[in-house]
Structure 1
Amino acid sequence: MMANRKPNSATSRLKQDYLRLKKDPIPYITAEPVPSNILEWHYVVHGPENTPYEGGLYHGKLVFPREFPFKPPSIYMITPSGRFKTNTRLCLSISDFHPDTWNPAWSVSTILTGLLSFMTEKSPTLGSIETSDFEKRQFAIQSLDFNLNDKVFCELFPESVTQIQNEILKRNAMEAAERNNCQEQITQGNTEQSSFQAAITNLCVIIGFAAFAYTVKYVIRSLGTD
């Protein structure tokens, strides 16, 4: 009987957490359970402003035990971020690495809020990596294309997919505009250079004619004197 109650308890609790999450969303994070398995949730962290993650979308997952909320979940990051190893259980006080610090009163919102807080810090832990802010910003740019190739991400977060597609279109348009601007500058430079070369050529021709005319005049004068 106990074995039967535990999964029901987890399912009931996670459904309550889902309703609370929809009613009171977490800043910078969206989360959805897998339709066929409520014990597996996927989340997307929207890189907060004024951090190296700004502009990035970071996909990860939570895997809850059947004993939840009495036991903590496993936490994974799937999208490369420069902060965490991918597809690796993260060692956090809110994860299954530390069941001794787990509090059954903590909800999915609590877990995701704690994850975001740790992500924006620089404290090392098992599953974290050390990279520069510059590298993190590069990962933020690359995260958009990375997530579009993730089937689960695309199925669970269609709004994020639309956001990414719009961002990529905007980015491509800006890159195309920059290329056109560079090409125009090159063309303008070549035109100015060609005009300068033509002016020098014309000046040389004029000087040549003047010298030729002077020479002819001098020869004629010399003949007349003789």
Structure 2
Amino acid sequence: MPDFSKKHWFLRENLQPQRLRQVLEYRQPDLTIVTDNVHKGRNLSAIVRTADAAGIGTMYCSMPDKDYKAFRGTAMGSHSWVSVRRQADVSAALTPLKAQGYQVLAAHLASDSVDFREADYTRPTVILLGAEKQGVSARGCELADMHITIPMRGMVQSFNVSVAAGIILAEAERQRHLAGMYSQCRIDEQSFRQTLFEWAQPKLSEYCREHGLAYPPLDDEGELADGLAWQQAVRAGTAPQYTW
């Protein structure tokens, strides 16, 4: 059993807890991305990084399991800050979100498409992005509440999907900033504490999940408030349990 009483044994290197808390306070729980069969790992990784920059904490990938496993193998660093959840198809990704009241904005050129800047991103919003060649699937378009497009002034017909994500999310961030949506913490306290623990103590959080243990409290420096006492409780079998 690791010695949890040792200072800095598990703390994520080079990151201050104050910085982690600040990032969590900017998180937008009602803004997310769903990718519709975007297979290229480099595009997905770029989208994940852009999502993090816009304050998105969770996004969804609709793609086959084997492709998702390949992506996970090459983009683990990106997943440190954004939870990426795979769904077998776009319906499985979008239907629960629509049931929660999210509007779905599909980046798709159609006869009814509007300029992406006309959408209201202060509402609970899903940005649906398709693969560069195929675009958003027919089913994704059916589930969308609005089709949006980025005006093009040159000969090129479309942006790279990761570039399009950055352009659209910049507008979403602008609108939400003006509405004051980044000026106060918008995630619930339990989610805040759980995510902070996982970010500050990745190895210890993994240990807790493997052994069905609740996360112990942290001090202001992101370390265990009383590592020795918690270690003794774990050995004695009296540490609080949790079903992961």
TM-score (norm 2): 0.28
Q: RCO higher in 1 or 2 (8 Å CA, sep ≥ 6)?
A: 2
Which structure has the greater CA radius of gyration? 1
Q: Which has the higher helix share?
A: 1
